[in-house]
Amino acid sequence: MNQSLGLAEALARRTGATIETLRLPDAGGPPLRWWTALHAAGPKPDLLIGAGHKTHLALWLAARKLRAKSVVIMKPTWPAFLFDLCLVPAHDLSQTPASPRVVPIRGALNRIPEQLPPKQLRGLILLGGPSRSHGWAGEALIDCLREVCAARPELQWFAADSRRTPAGFLTAVVQAGVPVQPLPRETTPTSTLMDHLLLAQEVWVTADSISMVFEAVTTGARVGLLPAPVHAPNSGPVRGLDALVLDGYATLYSTWRQQGRRLPPPRPLHETGRCADLVLTRLFPERQP
């Protein structure tokens, strides 16, 4: 949902378009998702955006019936020619796309705006958790967090967990004496966490969460990657993060230690904005700002 909304919001900033959101039901199978997409209330759309395999058939059918353009944000389950544009993370493509409708993108799109507030003397730690590509080493991670905070004592440090973070880990971080103010996901509104993310000079993210890493990079912060055991070295998320590090957008914890415990200056990257410009150029050239 965040990827679709992020792209829609970037398009709205450029064109003044309005946005309608629709969650397709998990229960009921494809017929119910098709029915929901076709009978949604509201004005006739010019563009339909979908992310997630379960949306693809409903998106294609609705776009045909409503005569709207369609954009898929991921490698589509069905042939690319069924959609007007497929924005696919480069790490999910094994070769150069055969279809001009498939456009490689860098990582995950997000809802970070292009106009960013001034940075403050804050640091933010974003904790993911075990996934198909990564494991979790909690005790070692706490030592890393302590070292990261000690390297920048002038910053006010905050730490936020996520739905994949092992239960009790954020509490364990505080009890271990790591100087962070906790932002538990159960009690921290999404808007509050976004404010912290936008204002932080330095953001550290566990290497299991490619979406949080790209959000951090997009905010213009200095970004470090906290270690997480790799279980699937050839998986898409691992390849995507490797490319991000190679291109200088984020720094591994081990490299940070070798380079004097200082993160390099940030490199600008706003992939969602670039994709919004691409959608307008390809599908709505008459509406380009």
pLDDT one-digit tens code per residue, 85-115: 999 988 888 777 778 999 999 988 999 999 9
Indicate the average pLDDT of the chain: 90
The per-residue pLDDT for 29 is 59
**What pLDDT is recorded for position 58?**
81
* CA pair distance 24, 27, nearest whole angstrom: 9
Amino acid at 49: I
Report whether 66 contacts 44 (CB < 8 A): yes
Q: What is the mean pLDDT of residues 233-240?
A: 87
Q: Please give the average per-residue pLDDT across 126-139, as a whole number.
A: 94
Asked if residue 27 has pLDDT above 60, the reply is no
Q: What confidence score (pLDDT) does residue 261 get?
A: 97
pTM: 0.89
Q: Does residue 22 carry a pLDDT above 80? A: no
The architecture that CATH gives domain 2-111+272-287 is: 3-Layer(aba) Sandwich (3.40)
Alpha helices in the chain (DSSP H): 2-15, 29-38, 56-66, 138-151, 169-175, 190-199, 210-218, 236-246, 253-258, 271-283
| Phi/psi of residue 47, nearest 5 degrees | -145, 135
Query: What average pLDDT score do residues 282-288 get?
Result: 85
**What's the pLDDT at 81?**
92
Residue 156 has pLDDT above 70, yes or no: yes
For residues 33-40, average pLDDT = 58
Q: Which residues pair with 182 in a beta bridge?
A: 159
Return the pLDDT at 93.
83
Structural domain 120-258, CATH architecture: 3-Layer(aba) Sandwich (3.40)
Sequence spans of domains, the chain:
2-111+272-287, 120-258
> Do 235 and 208 touch, CB atoms closer than 8 A?
no
pLDDT, tens digit, for every residue of 175-224? 999 999 999 999 999 999 999 999 999 999 999 998 999 999 999 999 99
Equal CATH topology for 2-111+272-287 and 120-258? yes
Residue 244 pLDDT? 93
